[in-house]
Amino acid sequence: MLKSGNNIMLIEIQNLNVAYGRKKVLENVTLTLRKNEIVTIVGPNGSGKTTLFKAIIGSIPIKSGSVVIKQNLKIGYVPQVLNIDRSLPLTVERFLKLAKNRNDQGFLRAQQILDSDDLLSSPISNLSAGQLQRVLLGHALMNEPDVLLLDEATRGLDQPGSAAFYKKIEEIRETTGCAILMISHDLHVVMSASNRVICLNGHICCQGEPKSVAASPEYASMFGSKVEGTLALYHHSHSHEGKGA
């Protein structure tokens, strides 16, 4: 089941249930990630998005169901934040080299993402939000991952900033062929960049191609009045840039 021609299955989650104490956080979540796919998870706060990621990387116990990760799958994880205390003297380069299973090729890719050589030697506690996001992405690339997990990677970035960030993600997929699973709040970006969108609210409300998800009533009820704006933005980019390219 894990292999079917070109559609190599990287992550396969079936009927996953996770609970914190008595509180159910994830209920019967089933999803798959194949090679080369970009899948985005959207959902309100507290809908279990980050918990889902934690289940994938194995940092929380699961109650029932299964999380099957392809053997020897290399995961690059981009967290929301770092707990950097100013008392910790750490340069960007040192942080990158803390990555496990790093290789030279990965370091090269990370440097390309940083976009500037000065950044390598600067203390990590002095970075701007945009720089920090690039550094975190660079760190995730150090082991040449097969899958990138991005947890609200554009939090704290303005719109041009997050647009530039997503462009980088696209480039990474094109050059390395790695699959991408991301949590995002930038609904309109999500809609244009993803192969599949999953709406999560404890359980999976709906999933499918961006267009069909955007049109579904579950999605509309989840994001309320924001949806109209989102749709407008989505159609906007659609009509101006065209999808044929």
Nearer to other proteins, 17 or 91 (CB): 91
Encoding tokens for residue 21? 């104490």
Distance CA 143, CA 138 (A): 10
Helix (H, G, I), strand (E, B) or coil at 243: coil
Taking alpha carbons only, the member of 156, 134, 144, 26 closest to residue 78 is 134
Region 121-160 residues binding other proteins, contact defined as CB under 8 A = 123, 139, 143, 149, 151
Q: Closest approach of Cβ 227 to other proteins, in Å?
A: 30
| Contact set for other proteins, span 201-230 (CB under 8 A) | none
In degrees rounded to 5, what are phi and psi of residue 191? -60, -35
Tokens 């991301």 found at: 182
- Shortest spacing between CB 160 and other proteins, in angstroms: 26
Find the shortest distance in angstroms from Cβ 50 to other proteins.
Answer: 8
When asked if residue 77 is in the footprint of other proteins (CB under 8 A), the reply is yes
The Cα 207–Cα 111 span in angstroms is 35
Footprint on residues 51-70 left by other proteins (CB under 8 A): 53-54, 57-59
Applying CB under 8 A, among 99, 114, 197, 198 the residue interacting with other proteins is 99
Nearest to other proteins of 143, 207 (CB atom) = 143
Subset of residues 35 to 54 that bind other proteins, contact rule: CB under 8 A: 53-54
Fill in the amino acid letter for 193. A
Interface residue with other proteins, options 2, 73, 88, 163 (CB under 8 A): 88
Q: How far is CA 159 from CA 44, 130, 187, in A?
A: 20, 11, 12
- Output the six-digit token pair for 245: 């390219």
Q: Least CB distance from residue 57 to other proteins, whole Å?
A: 4
CB 192 within 8 A of CB 38: no
* SS3 category, 222: helix
- Summarize as ranges the residues that interact with other proteins (CB under 8 A): 53-54, 57-59, 75-77, 79, 81-85, 87-91, 94-95, 98-101, 123, 139, 143, 149, 151
